[in-house]
Structure 1
Amino acid sequence: DLFCGSGTIVIEAASIAARRAPGLDRRFAFERLKGFDSHAWRRLKDAARATVDDATSATLVGSDISTRVIEQAIGNARLAGLEKWLDDGRLRFDAVDARLAAPSATRGMIISNPPYGEQSAPRSASVPDMMHNVGDRLKQHFAGWEAWFLSSDRELPRQMRLHETRKTLLFNGPLECRFFRFELVAGGYRPRSKTSQ
C-alpha cells in the first residue's frame, strides 16, 4: 500500500494471510453482560487461535510519506497481533513518498486508498499532479505488477495515465467510489484523441 496511513489495508492482508480472526485478542463490551458465557467464548477464541498460521511466506509492505503515521501503523500492527511478522520482516512499514516507491519484489500487487474527496478537503490541486507522478513511477518501476486503487475521483485513471482493466463500484462510508484495477506495463498510456475514436 503506497498510501498506508494507519496501516489498515496491509494489516488486514497480513491477518487474512495468517488466518487470524478479526479482533482475536480484543476485549468486547458484551463480555461484561449479565449471563455472558465466558467458558464458551474462551473455547471459540481458542479454536480461532488454533487456525492461525504465522508461518505463511507472504511479504507485505505499507508506506506513507509521514514518519508519524508509519509509527502509528507499526503500533496498530502490534495491537493486531502481528509482532512476529514485523520482527522477521514479512510485514514492513516504510516512510516513503509514493512518487519515489521502489518494488520489494519482481512481481506483486499494490492495493491503495490514495487521498481523495473528504480525505483531501479542501480539495488540493496537487492531488491530481501527485497521482500523475505516481502513475509514472508505477510504469517505470512496477511493470508486471497488478495495482488496485480505491477512489471517489472518477478521473483517477486519466490523472495516472493508466488504463483500468476493471472498475468496481464501492462505497467508502457515504462516498461513492471506484475500485480501479490496473495491469502495470512499462511505458505509458495515452488516451486516444477524439478525432481518432
Structure 2
Amino acid sequence: MTEIRHIVFDIGKVLIHYDPHLVFSRFIPDETERNWFFENVCTHDWNVEQDRGRSWEDAEALAIKTHPGHEENIRNFRRYWHEMVPHAYEDSVALMKRLIDKGYDVTMLTNWAKDTFKEAQARFPFLAWPRGVTVSGEIGLIKPDREIYEVHARNFGLEPAASLFIDDSLKNVEAARAAGWQAVLFEGAAKLEEDLRGLGVRV
C-alpha cells in the first residue's frame, strides 16, 4: 500500500456536529410527527440539492409548493440552520491539528451548501488550518459522485493512491476507494487515531 502523504477530512459529523433535530424538537415536539416532516417535507434528498448548489430560495419554493401547510417550518430549516451545528468535536479537531503539525498535507472535502459553509467558516476558525477545502455547493458536485474526488485531487495536486479520505458515510468512503484513494470510516476520534496508526500515519 502506498505511503499516505495527503489526508482529506470530511467536516460534518467528523469535525463539526450536525443534527437538525436540535432545532425541530422545539418546533415539532412530537417525535413521530417530526420524523414524518424529515421523511416527507425537508428530506435528506431535498437538503442534498442545496449541497449541490441549489439556492435556498428555490428549495423553499419547491417544498412550499408541495407542502403549503408546512411553509413556516420549511423556512425554519434555513432560518435556524446555525443551531443545527452547535459545536465542534474537539478531539477530532485536535487530531487534525497534530497531523498538520507533523507535516502531513491536510485538506477537506465536504458536502455543504455554499452560503452556510461561509457561516461555518466564520464560527469555526480551525476550518482555515488545512491547506484548503472543496465545498460541494461551490462546484456543483456532491459525494459520492466520483468526479468530486477527481476534482479535489486535481485542484490540490494529490496522488490518489497516497491520499487518505476520512468520512462518516460508508458510501462516501467506498466512492473514494473506487476513485483510487485510501479511505477510512469515521467512528470517533479514538477509533480514527487507531486506524491512522494502523495505516502507518504518524500521530
Specify the TM-score bucket, using the shorter chain as the normaliser.
0.3 to 0.5
Q: Which has the higher strand share?
A: 1
Bigger Cα Rg: 1
Using structure 1 for the length normalisation, give the TM-score: 0.35
Instruction: Give the alignment's TM-score, normalised by structure 2.
Output: 0.34
Which structure has more helix as a fraction of its residues?
2
Q: Which has the higher contact order (CA 8 A, sep 6+)?
A: 2
